[in-house]
C-alpha cells in the first residue's frame, strides 16, 4: 500500500449544534501497545447524518463502538466522548444509561427469535416501562418511523425471523428508536441488503434526521454521498479528513482521501 504522511490531516468542526464529540480518542485492544485508533477528534452535528468511510481495518467500527461504550470489555479507550456536557467515557458513567441515549444497529440484522412486536417491547420491559398501552404505542410509532409499519401491521405476532433481510434491518432500527434515543449509530447497516432494500433504508435514515442524529459506517461511497452531510475518512487508525460530504468527494484536501474516493488507493 502506498504510504501517506499520517500527520497530514484536515478536520473541520461543523458550525451547527453538536450532538456528540470525541477528543483525542485512542483505542488499544487487549494488551496491544499500538493503538488501533489514534487521536480521533470529531464533532457530530445534531439532526444530520455523518458517514465514516475508509478501507477495511482502518478503525471505523472500533471508533463507532467506542461511542456507546461497546468496547469496554475488549479494549482500553482513552480520551473524551462529550455528550450533553458530560464525558461519557468516564468509569463513573452508567453504560446502560448511555446506550438508552445512543442506540446501535449492526451490520447483520440481528432480531431476536421472537415476534415482531416482542422484538420491540423486550427492551422496553427491561427498561421498566410497565404500561402496556405505552409499549404498544411505542411499537406502532417506532415501526412507522422505521418505515416498516405498513408491511407488518396486520401481523405483529409473526416471528421476526420470517421477515426479509431488509425488513429485519428496519425492525432493528425500530427496536433501537423505540428506546427514544438521541443518537443512532449504524455499522454498515445495508451491507447485507439488496439494492431495493438499501434504497428503502437510505430513505428511512434520511427521514429519521427529523428526530435523531445519525452516525453511519459505510463501505459504499455513493451511499455516503447520497445521505450524509459530513464525512470522515479513516486511514490506518487515524482520522485523516473530516469535512462536508461534498468537499470530501469533490475537493478533498488530503492525498490519501483523494486517492481513496477516486479509487486509486492501495
Ligand X SMILES: Nc1ncnc2c1ncn2[C@@H]1O[C@H](COP(=O)(O)OP(=O)(O)OP(=O)(O)O)[C@@H](O)[C@H]1O
- What is the contact surface with ligand X in residues (CB under 6 A)? 29-30, 36, 54, 56-62, 74
Residue span binding Mg ion (CB under 5 A) among the ranges 60-68, 129-137, 163-171, 195-203: 60-68
Looking at the Cβ atoms of 27 and 163, the one nearer to ligand X is 27
Closest CA to 49 of 247, 229, 249, 232: 229
- Segment lying near Mg ion (by CB under 5 A), choices 54-62, 124-132, 147-155, 163-171: 54-62
Say which entry of ligand X, Mg ion, none residue 263 contacts (CB below 5 to 8 A, set by partner kind): none
Least distance between ligand X and beta carbon 89 (Å): 17
- CB 209 to ligand X: min, Å: 23
Q: Is 68 in the site for Mg ion (CB under 5 A)?
A: no
Would you call 30 exposed, middle or buried from its count of C-beta atoms within 10 A (0-12, 13-18, 19+)?
A: exposed
**Among Mg ion, ligand X, none, what does residue 59 contact (CB within 5–8 Å per kind)?**
ligand X
Of 75 and 123, which has the nearer Cβ to Mg ion? 75
Beta-carbon contacts of residue 187 (< 8 Å; ≥ 6 apart): 60, 61, 64, 65, 104, 105, 106, 107, 216, 217
Our CB check for ligand X shows the closer of 54 and 166 to be: 54
Is residue 231 within 8 Å of residue 53, measured between CB atoms? yes
Nearest distance from C-beta of residue 258 to ligand X, angstroms = 19
String of DSSP letters for 151-217: HHTT-TTSBGGGS-HHHHHHHHHHHHHTT--SEEEEESTTTTS-HHHHHHHHHHHHHHTTT-EEEEE
CB 52, min distance to ligand X, A: 8
Verify binding: residue 61, Mg ion, rule CB under 5 A.
yes
Shorter beta-carbon distance to ligand X: residue 55 or 156: 55
- Residue 7 vs 34, nearer CB to ligand X: 34
Contacts for 12 with CB less than 8 Å, ≥ 6 apart: 242, 243, 244
In the complex with ligand X, which residue's Cβ is closer, 7 or 56?
56
Residues 91-101: b if buried by 16+ CB within 10 A, e if exposed: eeeeeeebbbb
Residue of closest CB approach to Mg ion: 61
Residue ranges binding Mg ion (CB under 5 A): 61
Amino acid at each position: 500500500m502506498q504510504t501517506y504522511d499520517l500527520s497530514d490531516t484536515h478536520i473541520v468542526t461543523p458550525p451547527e449544534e453538536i450532538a456528540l464529540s470525541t477528543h483525542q480518542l485512542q483505542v488499544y485492544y487487549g494488551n496491544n501497545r499500538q493503538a488501533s485508533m489514534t487521536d480521533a477528534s470529531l464533532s457530530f452535528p445534531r439532526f444530520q447524518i455523518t458517514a465514516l468511510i475508509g478501507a477495511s481495518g482502518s478503525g471505523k467500527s472500533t471508533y463507532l463502538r467506542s461511542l456507546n461504550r461497546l468496547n469496554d470489555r475488549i479494549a482500553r479507550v482513552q480520551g473524551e466522548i462529550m455528550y450533553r456536557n458530560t464525558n461519557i467515557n468516564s468509569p463513573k458513567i452508567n453504560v446502560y444509561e448511555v446506550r438508552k441515549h445512543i442506540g446501535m444497529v449492526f451490520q447483520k440484522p440481528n432480531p431476536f427469535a421472537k415476534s415482531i412486536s416482542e422484538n420491540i417491547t423486550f427492551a422496553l420491559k427491561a427498561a421498566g416501562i410497565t404500561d402496556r398501552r405505552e409499549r404498544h404505542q411505542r411499537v406502532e410509532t417506532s415501526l412507522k418511523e422505521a418505515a416498516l409499519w405498513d408491511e407488518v401491521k396486520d401481523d405483529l405476532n409473526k416471528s421476526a425471523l420470517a421477515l426479509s433481510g431488509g425488513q429485519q434491518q428496519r425492525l432493528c432500527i425500530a427496536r433501537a428508536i423505540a428506546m427514544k434515543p438521541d443518537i443512532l449509530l449504524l455499522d454498515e447497516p445495508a451491507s447485507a441488503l439488496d439494492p431495493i432494500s438499501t434504497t428503502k433504508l437510505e430513505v428511512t435514515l434520511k427521514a429519521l434526521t427529523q428526530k435523531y442524529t445519525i452516525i453511519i459506517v459505510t463501505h459504499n461511497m455513493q451511499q455516503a454521498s447520497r445521505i450524509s452531510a459530513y464525512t470522515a475518512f479513516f486511514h490506518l487508525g487515524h482520522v485523516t479528513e473530516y469535512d462536508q460530504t461534498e468537499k470530501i468527494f469533490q475537493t478533498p484536501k488530503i492525498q490519501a482521501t483523494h486517492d481513496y474516493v477516486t479509487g486509486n488507493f492501495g
